[in-house]
Amino acid sequence: MTDLLALFSLPVLETTFRLGTPLLLACLAGLFSERAGIFDIGLEGKMLVAAFFSASVAYTTSSVWLGLMAGIAASLVLSLIHGLASITFRGNQLISGVALNFLASGVTVVVAQTWFSQGGRTPSLPDEARFKPISFFFVEILESIPVIGPVLASLIFGHDLLVYVAFAAVPVTWWVLFRTRFGLRLRAVGENPAAVDTAGVSVVGLRFAAVLICGVLCGIAGAYLATALQAGFVKEMTAGRGYIALAALIFAKWRPWYALGACLLFGYLQAVALRPDLLEAAFGFKVQVQLLDALPYILTVVILAGFVGKAIPPRAGGEPYVKER
């Protein structure tokens, strides 16, 4: 029993929050884009360029804030290309996403080699060029409280700024999408763009807005990877997180609060996969780490197949809008 509990011990849960953060940011990014009818399988690439440019600018300027800005800007550039291809020129959104992912993995390595000559990575970042856990003044008092004190101190108040940004983004996303006029229109443009057009609202404008919001959130996610979770950029450091976020988005049926749950679940699976010893102690046999790696994808396929609650994407998703067909 205690062995089972070890799977939910403080370090594991803390890692869950940290690993869930980039997933959550990217997932909400995808949510904005796909709710507006623009499929985005380029989340991975946007995170990757953001990770690289945030790390390199943070390293050269020793300012993590400038790094964050650079990351967001790089991600926005890819968003604009995606918008140009899929909104302006009505190209295939999926093909555009594939292209941008490759562009990101090529550009990051080539530029990293040109700038730093360290085999496609940035030098590791000094502390002042990273996001460090915020030191709340009351943490010391909290820690003295028995039992729940340490839990609160490390689990809730032991993180860096971007983790809080990610979690705050959930209610904000919900509010924007479901309680504002902009959100209503954005969702409408993903379901029935012709109706929005008839109402005199610009389909192109709304979709570009959604794609750019997606870029900002992916930028933060990438900056988090390189300047908070790790200290610097390494080749392909996103390691499929963009795709896991995509999976989480489907798992969450394109809803913000569900996205939080899905990302924490997938973050937890990643956290547990790092501790095979705990798993073996809990279940009494060796659990294949590969199964844990594959689990988010398998769960998503099951959900997609509609065996457990059907996931229905926004109706106009993936379709370029043509006025007066």
Q: How far is CA 278 from CA 11, 12, 16, 154, 270, in A?
A: 12, 10, 15, 20, 13
**Interface stretch with another protein, choices 88-96, 137-145, 146-154, 216-224 (CB under 8 A):** 88-96
Under the binding rule (CB under 8 A), the answer on residue 322 touching another protein is: no
**Interface stretch with another protein, choices 19-27, 223-231, 274-282, 303-311 (CB under 8 A):** 303-311
Under the binding rule (CB under 8 A), the answer on residue 248 touching another protein is: no
Kindly tell me which residue out of 148, 195, 301, 322 binds another protein, with binding defined by CB under 8 A: 301
Report how far residue 165's alpha carbon sits from residue 133's, in angstroms, rounded to the nearest whole number: 13
Kindly tell me which residue out of 54, 56, 75, 86 binds another protein, with binding defined by CB under 8 A: 86
**Interface stretch with another protein, choices 63-71, 99-107, 146-154, 193-201 (CB under 8 A):** 99-107
Is the CB of 68 or the CB of 247 nearer to another protein? Answer: 247
Residues 6+ apart with CB under 8 A from 234: 120, 121
Under the binding rule (CB under 8 A), the answer on residue 198 touching another protein is: no
**Residue 234 C-beta: closest distance to another protein, Å:** 13
Q: How far is CA 64 from CA 107, 132, 252, in A?
A: 22, 10, 32
**Interface stretch with another protein, choices 12-20, 87-95, 160-168, 202-210 (CB under 8 A):** 87-95
Under the binding rule (CB under 8 A), the answer on residue 294 touching another protein is: yes
**Residue 82 C-beta: closest distance to another protein, Å:** 8
Binding to another protein in span 112-131, by CB under 8 A? 113-114, 117, 120
Report how far residue 183's alpha carbon sits from residue 32's, in angstroms, rounded to the nearest whole number: 9
Under the binding rule (CB under 8 A), the answer on residue 283 touching another protein is: no
Kindly tell me which residue out of 246, 248, 264, 282 binds another protein, with binding defined by CB under 8 A: 246
Under the binding rule (CB under 8 A), the answer on residue 110 touching another protein is: yes
Under the binding rule (CB under 8 A), the answer on residue 100 touching another protein is: yes
Q: What share of the chain is helix, strand, coil (3-state, %, to 5)?
A: 70, 0, 30
Terminal CA-CA length for the chain: 64
Q: Which residue has the tokens 């997606």?
A: 214
Is the CB of 117 or the CB of 144 nearer to another protein? Answer: 117
Is the CB of 129 or the CB of 259 nearer to another protein? Answer: 259
Per DSSP, 152 falls in state: I
Residues 6+ apart with CB under 8 A from 280: 286, 287
Q: Where are the alpha helices (DSSP H) in the chain?
A: 2-6, 10-35, 43-61, 64-83, 93-116, 139-143, 148-151, 161-179, 181-191, 193-198, 203-224, 241-251, 256-273, 276-283, 289-304
Q: Of 100, 89, 101, which Cα lies nearest the Cα of 207?
A: 89
Report how far residue 121's alpha carbon sits from residue 237's, in angstroms, rounded to the nearest whole number: 10
**Residue 1 C-beta: closest distance to another protein, Å:** 29
Q: Where do contacts with another protein occur on this chain (CB under 8 A)? A: 39, 41, 81, 84-86, 89-96, 98-103, 105-107, 109-111, 113-114, 117, 120, 240, 243, 246-247, 250, 288, 290-291, 293-294, 297-298, 300-301, 304-306, 313
